Amino acid sequence: MMVVVAVNLNKMKHLLIYVLTLCFWTSNAQKMNHSEWTNILQLHVSDAGKVDYKGFLNNRESLDNYLANLGRHAPKDHWSTSEKKAYWINAYNAFTIQLILNNYPLKSIKKLSDPWGQKFIVIDGKTMSLNTIEHEILRPMGDSRIHFAIVCASESCPKLSNCAFEAKTLNDQLDQAAHDFINAPSKNNLAPATIKISKIFKWFKADFPKGNAFITYLNNYSTTAISPQTKIEFLSYNWALNE
């Protein structure tokens, strides 16, 4: 009898290990691999963030495959915040490219009818818009740096990174995006006493610190030391295509 019990316990142990291993691999298999997006970006986006939309058109199948994968691998509850955030940033940027390609050639995304409200994105069977991703998913995560990572295909937008955002490096990537955007002369003009900054900081002021804390926030990334007493002005936004 004791031998039988021992054998049964041994079988149960192996079965438990098998089930746990299967759950582990199934869980990880459900997570989105963004390396395909990096490969596409490397081909069609310069280090300065300029986009070769004609090249994207000639490589449409690769983009469509990546978008289809996004649709099949929506974030799950067990994903980490970084995994979810990276997924939605990449989704926003990739579907923005698709929107431009669907209407290319054009001079500006603003030439389209309600570009951010169009419900053309299908994720896990749910139809949504770019606004859905930005305002209902990403902004509620409470990380203002997403405004330097999502790109609305315009000159005054942050530059489009030619590498996908990845969970394991996300914090460093977002810090780099903030640094690049804040110090780009085409996006912001910074001086110790007077600064002219992007309207992104005006449109989404609720997402950034207030008062002197905002200057501290800028100084965390700025290569120019900005005085707390600085005068703040906002630059006109250039909606020309980031081509």
pLDDT tens digit string along 135-188? 999 999 999 999 999 999 999 999 999 999 999 999 999 999 999 999 999 999
| pLDDT at site 5 | 43
User: Which amino acid belongs to residue 216?
Assistant: T
Q: Give the DSSP H/E element, type plus range, for residue 90.
A: helix 81-102
**Would you place residue 18 in the very low, low, confident or very high pLDDT band (cuts 50, 70, 90)?**
very low
Task: Report whether the peptide linkage leading into residue 105 is cis, meaning its omega lies within 30 degrees of zero.
Answer: yes
The answer, yes or no, to whether residue 91 has pLDDT greater than 60, is yes
**Smallest Cα–Cα separation from 198: which of 227, 157, 239?**
157
What tokens were used for 203? 């449109």
Q: What's the pTM? A: 0.88
Residue 153 Ramachandran class (φ > 0 left, ψ -120 to 50 alpha, else beta):
left
